[in-house]
Structure formats: structure tokens, C-alpha cells
Structure 1
Amino acid sequence: MITNERIAAYIESLEMELSDYLREIESKALAEYVPIIKKPTRSLLRFLLRLHQPKEILEVGTAVAFSALLMSEYMPATSHITTIEKVPKRIAEAKENIKEQGKEQKITLLEGDAADILASLAKEGKSYDMIFMDAAKGQYPHFLPDILAMLPKGGLLVSDNVLQDGDIVESRYAVTRRNRTIHFRMREYLYTLTHTEGLDTIVLPIGDGVTLSTKL
């Protein structure tokens, strides 16, 4: 927890309830240890979607389609989500969840390695008004060049899980050995976001840390 736990708990108590089908997906995901976005991140996405009104949304990291379905509830009626996932078991569950809600026309699931798919989309000249990065944290720096190539002026990049439960502020030697590479790459990612000319970024200590970046 990044913020005071009592304050965080109080803020979470004020947040809107999930729809019944999203609550079912959430319960199943948590029981099976599938990572899904935290409550504060849900509220932030809802607010940003209503404020920014994106027409084309790209999500990197579908998992079981919880966040894609959540975003579909608050995006404009004419908007579309493209989401990427490579794990076969999660692809199958995501497809089922999307189909059950009749969202096949609103959500397109691309199957495969995100690095390859992003490179292909960028090469095709695709453009997305809002991009939600929620994949393997150690890969964020590798994805970023293609992500920025597809982000138009005024576009919004939302990156989740950037503070690693607070570990990001620790020395790399205070982090467990198996997490040091991710720790290094996430620090690299945050530095790049906050020091890239033509990009304005804010780091928010909510959930597991979220950055908002807009192209100037």
C-alpha cells in the first residue's frame, strides 16, 4: 500500500460498485490469482474515459478481459477497444467473458506476444487516443517506442503497476534478487516517461502506482 491504509480503505469505501457480471469475473480472477486492476485504478479509468472521450483505445495485457469490459461500460458508445494477450488460458477466458456480454463488436482481442503485435500495429500506422499499459512490468521500456509512435498529440498513456508496492524507492540491493531486473527496468521506464521531450507525465501513488502521460 502506497498511501496510509486507513485513508485508502475509506476512499475505496466511497467508490462505485461493480456491475454483477464484473463482480463475478473479479471474484473468479482473485480466486485463481489472476492479476486484475485495483479499485482506485478502476475509478481513475472511469474518470479518464468520461473526461477524455477516446474513440480508439489500446490495452496491453488483457488477462481475463476484466479491465477491457470495465472500460467498455464508460467509453463513448462509438468507441472501440483493441486488447492484447499471449497466455492461451487467459485468452480463452477473455473470449468467453467478452462473448457472454455481447461485446465482440466493441472489443477486439489480438492474440500473441505484445512486442510483436505492437511493432506490427505501429508499422501499420495505427493510432490510439488512449493506451492502457497493464502487462509484464519488465517489458514496459521495450514496448514504449511503439506505444509512443501510436499515441497522437493530446493522446493519453495510462501505465499501471509502476511503483511495485513501494519497492521502486528501495535500492536494487534491498529488492529480492529475482525482482532486480524488473526494479531496474521500471525505474528506467519512469525516468523515460518523465524526461522525454514532448511528453508530460504525472506519477500517482494510487493502487500499485499509475502514471498518466500525454503527448504535447
Structure 2
Amino acid sequence: MRPVTPVGILAAKLESLVRQVEQLKQLDPAFTAELHQAYALANGLDPYLDLCTTPESPALAALVERTNAEDWQQRFTAGETVKPLEQEMVSGHVEGQFLKFLIHLTRARRVLEIGMFTGYSALAMAEALPADGEVVACEVDAYAAEFAQKCFNESTSGHKIVVKVAPAIETLKQLAADGEVFDLVFIDADKAGYIDYLDLLLTTGLLATHGSIYADNTLMQGQPYVSGMTTPNGEAIAKFNQAVADDPRVEQVLIPLRDGITLIRRV
């Protein structure tokens, strides 16, 4: 899979430099050694995190295997404006375990997920919830939702997940109108919508008084802080990060896990 996190991209660039350096002659051995060490530090980090993190459940491993086997590009045609779904969108082992830990730490019982894809993070969180807990997962793509539901049906915790297929902002407004309240909200949907999702969560009763919000991809491959790498998603995340930093209603911390995850709570 292509690298989609700052560390992964850094490791790939350092690997390219190592290969180029190996073709050159009369280089300072100390320089070459430093470059190799820099590559080893970047390239070895994610595998080491995987090694030191509690293994994922068989159901989560099966979900990843199915997602990787699917040809997501076939579902989109040239010229479409919607960003294609891709296997790299899966939250993955370490982030999934991190979310499970947050469920345990906060003792959350009701979780709202904004953006589900094939359901890795939804299922991970469901596994950590008590027997009467619930994840309400919003997904705009009907095929992805159906794909995820099949995986949920074959797992022991999938019954805790309710999937809502519609644009997330519509689902949030309906949930708010119905008086639904959530202890934890995980945002991992269209990046341009992050600010609107946050504002809706803070201005309605959707977020419990003690509740917390977690926003994924807030490092967006390093684009918010590296010049010359900007894409629409990178610009959207940079605006979101600044909006959160400037918002007096909340306090937050950005964790450099995978592609960045920001933990947010009301002041």
C-alpha cells in the first residue's frame, strides 16, 4: 500500500535517498551511516508500534483482509468528483486499539462515528463497549455500508453497531432532533465537513456533557505544516485545526498517531 501518514511518507522518501546514495562513490561514510540510521528510525516505527500493541481480534483481522482484497477503484469512473474509496482508509490495528482504550478510559456507552468506510474503527469500538453499548455509524456510500454490515454480521460485537446511510450532516441533524446523546464521537469523514460537524456537536445536545470528540487525519500526510504539499483535503484539515485551536469552547491535543488524531473536550 502507498504511504499515507507523515511517518510513512518520510520513510519512503528516506528509502529513495538511501538508494540514490548507494549508487554514488566517494561519499563520507559518516554521512551515509547517518542517512541509513534516519531511514531505520522512520521505517521501523510503525512496525514496532504494531509489535508492542495488543493484537487485533480475528473479526478485525478478517475485515482488513476483505477490505484489502476488494478492488475499490472499479467502483469509480474517470471524471467523478467524489474521492474514490481506497483500502488505505482503514483505521488499522494501532489506531483501532487506541480507540478501544479510549472507550475503556471514558467508560463510554454510546458512540457516534461520522464516516465509517468498511467499519474497522466502528467494530473496534463496539468490541470495547459494554453489552448494552451502541455505535451509531454514519456512512454516505451505500456499497461501503453494505460491505461493512456483512463483516459486522459475522462478528460477535457487530450487533452493537447501527449503520445510517446518508450524508453525515443530515444524519446528525436528525439524531439531534430525535434527542440522541453520545458519550464519544469519532470524526473520520469528508475533511471539508469537519468544521460543520464539530459546530453541530457543540451547539446541539448530541454530545453528552462529559463527552469527548476525536477527529482523525488531522496531520493529513503532513500537508498542514509542510509548504508545497497542499491539496483540498490538506487545506480543509489546516482550517479545521486552526478553528479548533481558536475555539474557546474546547481544549484539545493532537496526537501524532498514524495520520494524526485530535482529542477534543468542552472546557
TM-score (structure 2 length as normaliser):
0.73
Matched, 1:207 2:258: yes
1:183 is aligned, of 226, 234, 244, to: 234
Is the contact between residue 61 and residue 134 of structure 1 (CA under 8 Å) also seen in structure 2?
yes
Report deviation, 1:182.
2.0
Specify the alignment match of 2:214 in structure 1. 158
Look up the equivalent residue of 1:8 and give its one-letter code: D
Cα separation, 2, equivalents of 1:68 and 1:133: 11
Specify the alignment match of 2:225 in structure 1. 169
Is the contact between residue 157 and residue 214 of structure 1 (CA under 8 Å) also seen in structure 2?
yes
Cα separation, 2, equivalents of 1:88 and 1:25: 17
Specify the alignment match of 1:26 in structure 2. 64
Q: Which runs of 5+ in 1 are unaligned?
A: none
1:63 is aligned, of 114, 117, 129, to: 117
Is the contact between residue 194 and residue 202 of structure 1 (CA under 8 Å) also seen in structure 2?
no
Report deviation, 1:130.
0.2
1:12 is aligned, of 37, 42, 50, to: 50
What is the aligned length?
A: 211
What is the RMSD computed on CA atoms of the aligned residues?
Answer: 1.8
Report deviation, 1:36.
0.7
Is the contact between residue 63 and residue 120 of structure 2 (CA under 8 Å) also seen in structure 1?
yes
Q: Which runs of 5+ in 2 are unaligned?
A: 8-41, 71-85
Report deviation, 1:63.
1.2
Cα separation, 1, equivalents of 2:176 and 2:233: 25
Is the contact between residue 151 and residue 215 of structure 1 (CA under 8 Å) also seen in structure 2?
no
Identity %: 24
Cα separation, 2, equivalents of 1:159 and 1:63: 15
- Secondary structure at the residue paired with 2:182? coil
Is the contact between residue 39 and residue 207 of structure 1 (CA under 8 Å) also seen in structure 2?
no
